[in-house]
Structure 1
Amino acid sequence: MVRNLIKGVGVLEQNFLVATEWLLLAFAASILSIRLGISVALMEIAVGVIGGNVLQIEITSWVNFLAGFGAVVLTFLAGAEIDPESMKANLKESVSIGLLSFLLPFLGGMAFAYYVFGWDSNASKIAGIALSTTSVAVVYAVMVESGLSSTRLGQAILAACFITDLGTVLALGILFTGFSMKVVWFTVILIAVVLFITPVAAKIFEWYGGRVSEPEIKFIFLTLLALAYLAVTSGSEAVLPAYIIGMAMAGFFMRHKETLHKMRAIIFATFTPFYFIKAGALVSFNALYTMAGAILCFLIVKIVAKFIGVLPTTKYFSYGRRAGIYTTLLMSTGLTFGTISALYGLANNYIDKSQYSALVAAVILSAVIPTFIAQKWFFPVPGVEESSSLSLVTENCSLERSAGNECKD
């Protein structure tokens, strides 16, 4: 809007103007988040919707890169925060929750698009894949902000997110992209990096750690960027190797918490605002109006399918009522892989623009609505950060009792 009043500005001036608009929105989101007590990730998406539809902010190539890199490092941090011992202890429930969190929305979304909306088979598959996702970025941001990332409940949810999104990536690869020699080579390189990244990082941290120039953080960023390039070149997604490398280095970063906190500060202050604001900017008021019925249907299908799959599983593993609903709502979120899947379908003519708009709007709304409900009414630790050494059952039961509910040990 302001940009239209300025005539004849050069490229450099234009870039500074665009950056000013985006950082102004990020700053406003932070203030509103603090004032209203709402997660900053949700506020950034909300101001992004206003920025994209009212202020008509520009999404430039460098904005896309900053947003993409923010998603990559945020995903890496989510993996790096998972305690290996907690991962082993929660493996059965994380795999069960993550698998059902993918499978039922995938089948439900695909069937709904095909039989109710009459989409063809390829479009229906894209719909199922887009609706099956869980947003690691949103869940991790909420976990960090609320202090749950270090609890066993938080660890179990983050691990389940990885299983869900791994299913999404595999489904997209098997049903559409196939497997080429590039995928094989990328897999071999990724395995090699997983095996050698920790000892190499240990040497670099030992030799060069603690300097003002932070070479150890630059080394991590370099590794993530190189793997992101190889992933995209092979037809995969940039965020997938980031999560795997983060999990591979989780034990290492248990001994280097200070570096992890520095990286978190860099990412949350600089990169993730672009990622979340861009997500909001992709929501069109016009699409919300003209495609409201389809968007609402897809959103309901996704959330209902997640509840059918995840909530009974949390009960089976003795989660308390609040913790079970909270887990289910967070597993109902979607963003990165959902929009990526929809964009892939549009780029390859499997879906048209109206179908794309409906899917993207449903996916982005799923990042906002379930998260808001979870944080507002089902937050399991009201003002208390539980120790990760507690058993998951004991932790959840104590939370239930503190909320005045009954819980069976």
Structure 2
Amino acid sequence: MEHSYLVAALWLFCALTASLISIRVGISVALIEIMVGIVAGNIIHLEITDWVNFLAGFGAVILTFMAGAEIEPRTIKEHFWESMVIGILAFLLPFLVCMAGAYYVFHWDLNASKIAGIALSTTSVAVVYAVMIESGLSSTSLGQAILAACFVNDLGTVLALGLLFTGFTVKLGIFAAILIVVVFISTPLASRIFQKYSGKVSEPEIKLVFLMLAFLAFVAQYGGSEAVLPAYIIGMAMAGFFTQYKETLYKIRAIIFTAFTPFYFIKAGVLVSFHALVTMLGAILIYLLFKTLAKFLGVLPATKFFRYGKRNGIYTTLLMSTGLTFGTISSLYGLTHHYISTAQYSVLVATVILSAIVPTLIAQKFFYPVPDEEIDIISPIGEFKEVVEHVNP
């Protein structure tokens, strides 16, 4: 027990240090937590215990749920095509480019190359959402369109992993059926609980949300999927409901950014080995270049088509270039099923984590949207619909 408290104290010290540095330098605390984790993991060998794994995993689940719940239904309708096109291109091109790079440049076998393509095609909803919250962009049209595109991107990753490796089993069908049922009953159930018990000191409505997320995480893993996927879907399904209960979302946000996400982001940094970075730096940088270049080739032209503006377009592309949750999950899947070696796993994880840091730092420092440039996105498709409606009222 004494040892557990010491480990907890060290992790909380790292979390506090990251918060203070973030405030001082004006960089997202999620990125600073990853960097602090890298230093702590390699210098003091910060221990990852079972309870740290749980807090980090559940933190990713709740954070993903919040990202979905923050997207207003109106925004999804208005920017459906932007999110779909950008999300699909942000997945497809990096998947093909990174898979080809692994196969032809580094001569990995076909299965290892597929894992590399999947792991490096991702966009980190967790990182993007954390950045959006801190920068105040989560409530803007641009921010919500980016979050929706992140979901489409990662859904492509999950489907690719299922089609190429895990297959579709009876257990996965059970998970899908349960998820559909929960999607339909979650809002009516929450409405009753919230109306009757909202505002009580014991916060039963927040416990209800955590219960649903924990249950769905279990069912997802039982079905061979990932715990964060149903969290995002439920969040989007309940987004309209939570427009009436913004205060509850603020409370959940305070809880997760204090008690859960520091463990998630610091753990991501702890997984990076200085030795791996030094000995395999060339491969890591080449993979990072493959991923970022492919994202730019796919996303940036799409942002121009949808008239994001130059600054907003580059900002969007850089955030879509981030990776973390599904990237590390896909890499770990490849390692545990012997599709990739330990060295290949180290290269992929280091690349994924660097992709969470480098593009976000560049986006925040050099391409952050400014008031002079309109944040609300103008869609050519939306303009066409308006013209049709005007001609045919």
Q: Is the TM-score greater than 0.5?
A: yes
8 Å CA contact retained: 1:147, 1:385: no
Amino acid at match of 1:393: I
Amino acid at match of 1:182: K
Question: Offset at 1:208?
Answer: 1.3
The corresponding residue for 2:244 is: 255
Question: Offset at 1:334?
Answer: 0.1
Q: 1:27 to 1:391 in 2, by over 3 A?
A: closer
Stretches of 4+ aligned residues off by more than 4 angstroms: none
2:361 pairs with 1:376: no
8 Å CA contact retained: 2:96, 2:117: yes
SS at match of 2:235: helix
Question: Offset at 1:393?
Answer: 3.0
SS at match of 1:255: coil
Question: Offset at 1:100?
Answer: 0.2
Question: Offset at 1:52?
Answer: 0.3
The corresponding residue for 1:241 is: 230
The corresponding residue for 1:96 is: 85
8 Å CA contact retained: 1:157, 1:327: yes
2:364 pairs with 1:393: no
The corresponding residue for 1:130 is: 119
Deviations 1:276-311 (A, max 9, x none): 000000000000011111100100000000000000
SS at match of 1:392: coil
Distance in 1 separating the partners of 2:44 and 2:320: 32
SS at match of 1:236: coil
Amino acid at match of 1:332: S
Distance in 2 separating the partners of 1:318 and 1:216: 40
Deviations 1:202-230 (A, max 9, x none): 00001111100000000000000000000
The corresponding residue for 1:72 is: 61
8 Å CA contact retained: 1:148, 1:385: no
Distance in 1 separating the partners of 2:116 and 2:310: 31
Deviations 1:229-273 (A, max 9, x none): 000111100000000000000000011000000000000011000
Distance in 1 separating the partners of 2:227 and 2:353: 19
SS at match of 2:378: helix
Distance in 1 separating the partners of 2:174 and 2:343: 37
The corresponding residue for 2:23 is: 34
Distance in 2 separating the partners of 1:385 and 1:246: 30
Distance in 2 separating the partners of 1:378 and 1:89: 24
8 Å CA contact retained: 2:140, 2:376: no
The corresponding residue for 1:351 is: 340
Amino acid at match of 1:392: I
2:28 pairs with 1:43: no
Question: Of the candidates 135, 139, 156, which is equivalent to residue 150 of structure 1?
Answer: 139
Distance in 2 separating the partners of 1:186 and 1:295: 36
Deviations 1:24-46 (A, max 9, x none): 00000000000011110010001
Distance in 2 separating the partners of 1:149 and 1:279: 23
Matches within 5 A, 1:285-296: 285-296=274-285
Question: Of the candidates 77, 97, 104, which is equivalent to residue 108 of structure 1?
Answer: 97
2:325 pairs with 1:340: no
Distance in 1 separating the partners of 2:352 and 2:296: 16
Distance in 2 separating the partners of 1:15 and 1:245: 34
8 Å CA contact retained: 1:84, 1:250: yes
2:255 pairs with 1:272: no
Distance in 2 separating the partners of 1:253 and 1:94: 21
Question: Of the candidates 353, 361, 383, which is equivalent to residue 364 of structure 1?
Answer: 353
Deviations 1:53-78 (A, max 9, x none): 00111000100000000000000000
Question: TM-score, normalization: structure 1?
Answer: 0.91
Q: 1:289 to 1:297 in 2, by over 3 A?
A: same
137-146 or 204-213, larger mean C-alpha shift:
204-213
8 Å CA contact retained: 1:151, 1:385: no
Distance in 2 separating the partners of 1:381 and 1:360: 33
SS at match of 1:393: coil
Distance in 2 separating the partners of 1:197 and 1:338: 29
Distance in 1 separating the partners of 2:60 and 2:18: 18
Distance in 1 separating the partners of 2:373 and 2:3: 45
Distance in 2 separating the partners of 1:203 and 1:27: 38
Query: When the two structures are aligned, how many residues end up with a matched partner?
Result: 379
Distance in 1 separating the partners of 2:110 and 2:246: 47
Question: Of the candidates 186, 191, 198, which is equivalent to residue 202 of structure 1?
Answer: 191
8 Å CA contact retained: 2:94, 2:120: yes
SS at match of 1:323: helix
Distance in 2 separating the partners of 1:320 and 1:393: 10
Distance in 2 separating the partners of 1:276 and 1:94: 26
Question: Of the candidates 157, 172, 191, which is equivalent to residue 180 of structure 2?
Answer: 191
The corresponding residue for 1:63 is: 52
Amino acid at match of 1:308: L
Distance in 2 separating the partners of 1:114 and 1:41: 33
Deviations 1:346-402 (A, max 9, x none): 0000000000000000000000000000000000036x998xxx84239xxxxxxxx
Question: TM-score, normalization: structure 2?
Answer: 0.95
Distance in 1 separating the partners of 2:376 and 2:322: 26
The root-mean-square deviation of aligned C-alpha atoms, in Å, is 1.2
Amino acid at match of 1:19: A
Deviations 1:179-216 (A, max 9, x none): 11000011011001001100010000011111000000
Distance in 1 separating the partners of 2:279 and 2:195: 58
Amino acid at match of 1:305: A
The corresponding residue for 1:214 is: 203
Distance in 2 separating the partners of 1:41 and 1:381: 22
SS at match of 2:260: helix
Distance in 2 separating the partners of 1:106 and 1:61: 32
